[in-house]
Amino acid sequence: MTRVMTAARHRWVFPDPIRLDPVFAAAAGEQGLGRFAAAVAARRGIADPQALAAFLGTAGGGLNDPHLLPDADALVARIVQAQTRAERVMVFGDFDADGLTGLAQLVLVFRRLGLDVVPYVPSRVDEGHGLSLGAVEAAAAGGVSLIVTVDTGSTSVAEVAAAGARGIDVIITDHHHLPEVLPAAVAVVNPHRADSAYPDAGLSGSGVAFTVGRLLLGDLADAEAEALALADLAAIGTVADVVPIMGENRAIARLGLAILRAAPRPGIAALLARASAGKGRIDLETISFGIAPRLNAASRVGEAMDAARLLLADTADEADTLAATLEAANATRRDLMKTAIAEARAALGLGGPVEPAFAESDRGDVPLVIAAGGPGAAASLVIGPWSPGIVGLIAGRLAEETGRPAVVGTLLGDTVRCSCRSDGRMDLADALGACSDLFLRHGGHAAAAGFELRRDQWEAFVERFLALATAWAPEDPRPPLHVDLALPAELVDYALYHDLQRLQPCGAGNPEPLVAVLGLTVARVRAAKGGHTQLVLRRGLEVIDGIAFGRADLAVDLAEGDRIDVVARLSSRVFGGVENLQLEVRDVAPCGTHPRAAAVLAHVADRAERRAAANLVPLEAAVEGGRA
Ligand SMILES: [Mn+2]
């Protein structure tokens, strides 16, 4: 039987060749950064010596002057007035991890200023985004005379007016898109304002709250450090909101990580324990996959206020109780997701085993799952009996699995509420704009959007959306895998791993560098527990360990002696007290399949041949001067 070696699952996208500016290369050398890591930095826009120094330098240096926030003076004046008059202040935070961590920061800052603070988190399902009339009512009933929003409120013109009619002032702090006519608030602190002089508009809602905290506490004697001590919360919101971890966000992330690693506050420590995250190994992925989903679970299937209480908890006991509540909500969220995804996949004909949660459940009394766009279609569209709190998550999972846009909805009476996700190749904001005549409302960005429509418009929408998706569909449906460096295997070593570590912390906008390691030979391959594949790869006389998470297929398709190229993240592994380079393999292709891989290998082979003919130096020194 002939064996067919596995083909790449992803479309490998190689970077454009780059010639490093000599001045920049020299600056990188002075910072001890090798030329390959310098090339990655340059491709990410860190292209001059000053930018590089800021990128690699101390985190505190990357923060901007909070007095430059729009309406900073009006905000400070109104807070001082609240202090003088001993007012009761409501902090209204959006229900996601960004809003919750921003709310926690402002509650702590206002308490420090001696204000009487009432936190308020709206219900995701009943109140939605924006300042809610329910909150305005609650404020009026509770004797609140000032509401401060976090991560929301920029478009809440009617609600701010309603508060005004009740004699309640509003301060908006937010980072979302602004309407042409701003709400009549005392201050609209949003770095996206057209008249904003703030140097960095990339802050999350939580990052804006952090900056407001620095503004309010920074002028008090010795309180600057207290303001900076909120960076853990700001970092969680920043990462959870998936804003680019560059510029000021990078400074916030680094300050926050230092706190999370050294002395997390009780609520975060309790979450980290639930996520089984060891203190020393906390990175931005710990936030993305360990902390943020647990905070978000509260609003999806429980009470978002519980998450706010957890962040504000003063003792480990109180935090443990609330963390248990969030853990239960997260487990429920996971179960709901599992059932829903199985139902959606089955309805879409995507195959695979139907999860037991689906097969065993008695759901005869709920509406049918309605699906359009099966295997091979340009998009997946499905309506099911699912909680509105999780439809976005289901859409995300389907889009990730199929590499195509996904629309997932739930029936609320006569209307369907939908979330859409794409990998960004199809611009959902544009696509929904082209269907807007069918909607009751819609909004969103290129990669994530949502809408509501009447049930009887669904079929018309499906037809139009599928036509748009078909027009947008890329020729190669495989999801792209962006390679940062393409190198012959001989040049990939522990020193390169160390160099690339200098780009940490990595996250959105500054992803973990991926290296195409070219010209390896499989020395050993075996299936590992948990659906992973373990590899021993040979380059010349040396071997490197490799691990491919979630790629059980490789253990089946690869065999000893296969010549392969891999795309991998470089990591390290301690074995026998020695740290070794390990490749976290994302994808594998037969050696030289990709034209760019073949070109690099041919270049290397050609040079080696000529050197060998002249009986000269070994291969390492022959490739473009080697490493810096
Ligand atoms: Mn946000």
Q: What is the pLDDT of residues 375-386, one digit of tens each?
A: 888 999 999 989
| pLDDT tens track for 588-599 | 999 999 999 999
Q: What is the mean pLDDT of residues 458-486?
A: 91
3-state class (DSSP) for residue 454: strand
φ and ψ of 490, to 5 deg: -60, -25
Tell me, in angstroms, the distance from the centre of ligand 1 to residue 241's CA: 5
Residues 462 and 492 in one domain: no
Tell me, in angstroms, the distance from the centre of ligand 1 to residue 105's CA: 14
Tell me, in angstroms, the distance from the centre of ligand 1 to residue 430's CA: 21
Tell me, in angstroms, the distance from the centre of ligand 1 to residue 22's CA: 40
Tell me, in angstroms, the distance from the centre of ligand 1 to residue 234's CA: 11
Q: Is residue 211 assigned to a domain?
A: yes
Tell me, in angstroms, the distance from the centre of ligand 1 to residue 214's CA: 19
Q: What is the mean pLDDT of residues 273-292?
A: 88
What was the pLDDT predicted at 68? Answer: 98
Cα–Cα distance for residue pair 259/277, rounded to 1 Å: 15
Tell me, in angstroms, the distance from the centre of ligand 1 to residue 151's CA: 5
Q: Which of 590, 506, 585 is nearest to 249 (CA)?
A: 506
Decide if 203 contacts 64 (C-beta within 8 A): no
Element holding 391 (H helix, E strand): helix 391-402
**423 CB contacts (<8 Å, ≥6 apart)?**
399, 400, 403, 447, 479, 480
Tell me, in angstroms, the distance from the centre of ligand 1 to residue 238's CA: 8
Q: What is the mean pLDDT of residues 451-476?
A: 93
Tell me, in angstroms, the distance from the centre of ligand 1 to residue 102's CA: 9
Q: Is residue 170 assigned to a domain?
A: yes
Residues 499 and 462 in one domain: no
Q: pLDDT tier at 125 (50, 70, 90 boundaries)?
A: confident
Decide if pLDDT at 619 tops 70.
no
Decide if 93 contacts 121 (C-beta within 8 A): yes
Decide if 292 contacts 267 (C-beta within 8 A): no
Q: What percent of the chain has pLDDT over 90?
A: 75
3-state class (DSSP) for residue 82: helix
Tell me, in angstroms, the distance from the centre of ligand 1 to residue 204's CA: 5
Cα–Cα distance for residue pair 241/248, rounded to 1 Å: 15
Decide if pLDDT at 364 tops 60.
no
Residues 447 and 566 in one domain: no
Tell me, in angstroms, the distance from the centre of ligand 1 to residue 527's CA: 41
Cα–Cα distance for residue pair 87/117, rounded to 1 Å: 9
Decide if 117 contacts 89 (C-beta within 8 A): yes
Tell me, in angstroms, the distance from the centre of ligand 1 to residue 492's CA: 39
Residue ranges making up the domain that contains 538? 11-15+483-622
The pLDDT mean for the chain works out to 90
Cα–Cα distance for residue pair 242/296, rounded to 1 Å: 14
DSSP code of residue 567: E
180 or 236: whose pLDDT is higher?
Answer: 236
Decide if 230 contacts 105 (C-beta within 8 A): yes
Residues 74 and 223 in one domain: yes
110 or 402: whose pLDDT is higher?
Answer: 110
Tell me, in angstroms, the distance from the centre of ligand 1 to residue 98's CA: 5
User: How many domains, in total, are found in the chain?
Assistant: 3
3-state class (DSSP) for residue 575: strand
Decide if 207 contacts 237 (C-beta within 8 A): yes
Tell me, in angstroms, the distance from the centre of ligand 1 to residue 175's CA: 7
HEC assignment per residue over 288-329: HHHHHHHHHHHHHHCCHHHHHHHHHCCCHHHHHHHHHHHHHH
Tell me, in angstroms, the distance from the centre of ligand 1 to residue 243's CA: 9
Tell me, in angstroms, the distance from the centre of ligand 1 to residue 187's CA: 18
Q: What is the mean pLDDT of residues 485-510?
A: 94
Residues with a beta carbon under 5 angstroms from ion ligand 1? 98, 151, 205, 241
What was the pLDDT predicted at 462? Answer: 95
Q: Is residue 320 assigned to a domain?
A: no
Tell me, in angstroms, the distance from the centre of ligand 1 to residue 292's CA: 12
Tell me, in angstroms, the distance from the centre of ligand 1 to residue 96's CA: 8
Distance of CA 509 to the CA centre of its chain: 9
Q: What percent of the chain has pLDDT over 70?
A: 93
Domain boundary among 409, 437, 472: 472
Tell me, in angstroms, the distance from the centre of ligand 1 to residue 174's CA: 8
Angstrom distances, CA of residue 495 to CA of 36, 171, 486, 547, 581:
11, 51, 16, 19, 9
Q: What is the mean pLDDT of residues 162-175?
A: 98
Query: At which residue do the structure tokens 């391959």 appear?
Result: 525
Cα–Cα distance for residue pair 270/418, rounded to 1 Å: 34
610 or 259: whose pLDDT is higher?
Answer: 259
Query: At which residue do the structure tokens 């860190």 appear?
Result: 46
Q: Which of 249, 209, 187 is nearest to 106 (CA)?
A: 209
Tell me, in angstroms, the distance from the centre of ligand 1 to residue 194's CA: 19
Tell me, in angstroms, the distance from the centre of ligand 1 to residue 177's CA: 11
Q: What is the mean pLDDT of residues 407-413?
A: 93
What was the pLDDT predicted at 537? Answer: 97
What was the pLDDT predicted at 129? Answer: 85
Question: For residue 514, what are its two tokens?
Answer: 């991926």
Decide if 172 contacts 189 (C-beta within 8 A): yes
What was the pLDDT predicted at 34? Answer: 92
| pLDDT tens track for 42-96 | 999 998 999 999 899 877 778 999 999 999 999 999 999 999 999 999 999 999 9
Decide if 567 contacts 556 (C-beta within 8 A): no
Q: Is residue 57 assigned to a domain?
A: no
Beta-ladder partners of 507: 510
Q: Is residue 110 assigned to a domain?
A: yes
What was the pLDDT predicted at 57? Answer: 84
Q: What is the mean pLDDT of residues 486-504?
A: 95
Decide if 418 contacts 408 (C-beta within 8 A): yes
Q: What is the mean pLDDT of residues 399-426?
A: 91
Tell me, in angstroms, the distance from the centre of ligand 1 to residue 254's CA: 19
Q: CATH number of the domain that 400 lies in?
A: 3.10.310.30
Decide if pLDDT at 352 tops 70.
no
Question: What CA dihedral angle connects 450, 455, 456 and 459, to 10 degrees?
Answer: 50
DSSP code of residue 59: G
Q: CATH number of the domain that 217 lies in?
A: 3.90.1640.30
Tell me, in angstroms, the distance from the centre of ligand 1 to residue 240's CA: 8
Residues 468 and 522 in one domain: no
Amino acid at position 162, single letter: A
Domain boundary among 446, 472, 498: 472
Q: pLDDT tier at 621 (50, 70, 90 boundaries)?
A: very low
What was the pLDDT predicted at 374? Answer: 76
Domain boundary among 443, 472, 501: 472
Tell me, in angstroms, the distance from the centre of ligand 1 to residue 99's CA: 6
Q: Is residue 138 assigned to a domain?
A: yes
DSSP code of residue 507: B
Tell me, in angstroms, the distance from the centre of ligand 1 to residue 334's CA: 23
Number of Cβ within 10 Å of residue 415's Cβ equals 16
Decide if pLDDT at 524 tops 80.
yes
Residues 430 and 565 in one domain: no
Q: Is residue 60 assigned to a domain?
A: no
Decide if 301 contacts 320 (C-beta within 8 A): no
What was the pLDDT predicted at 587? Answer: 97
Q: pLDDT tier at 302 (50, 70, 90 boundaries)?
A: confident
Beta-ladder partners of 451: 418, 442
Q: What is the mean pLDDT of residues 401-416?
A: 91
Residues 452 and 551 in one domain: no
Residues 111 and 226 in one domain: yes
Q: Is residue 321 assigned to a domain?
A: no
Q: pLDDT tier at 322 (50, 70, 90 boundaries)?
A: very high
Distance of CA 510 to the CA centre of its chain: 11
Tell me, in angstroms, the distance from the centre of ligand 1 to residue 256's CA: 17
Tell me, in angstroms, the distance from the centre of ligand 1 to residue 245's CA: 14
Residues 467 and 548 in one domain: no
Instruction: Provide the greatest CA pair distance for the chain.
Output: 89
Tell me, in angstroms, the distance from the centre of ligand 1 to residue 205's CA: 5
What was the pLDDT predicted at 604? Answer: 84
**Cis previous bond, 618, omega within 30:** no
Decide if pLDDT at 108 tops 90.
yes
Tell me, in angstroms, the distance from the centre of ligand 1 to residue 517's CA: 37
Question: What pairing do the DSSP bridges indicate for beta strands 380-384 and 370-372?
Answer: antiparallel
Q: pLDDT tier at 368 (50, 70, 90 boundaries)?
A: low
What was the pLDDT predicted at 400? Answer: 87
Residues 507 and 379 in one domain: no
Residues 75 and 163 in one domain: yes
| 482-517 burial: b if 16+ Cβ within 10 Å, else e | ebbbbbbbbbbbeebbbbbebbbbbbbbbebbbbbb
3-state class (DSSP) for residue 29: helix
Tell me, in angstroms, the distance from the centre of ligand 1 to residue 322's CA: 23
Tell me, in angstroms, the distance from the centre of ligand 1 to residue 100's CA: 10
Tell me, in angstroms, the distance from the centre of ligand 1 to residue 326's CA: 20
Residues 410 and 541 in one domain: no
Long-range contacts of 73-82 (CB under 8 A, 24+ apart): 74/186, 74/187, 75/171, 75/186, 75/187, 75/189, 75/212, 75/215, 76/215, 76/216, 78/146, 78/169, 78/171, 78/186, 78/187, 79/110, 79/113, 79/115, 79/171, 79/216, 82/115, 82/145, 82/146
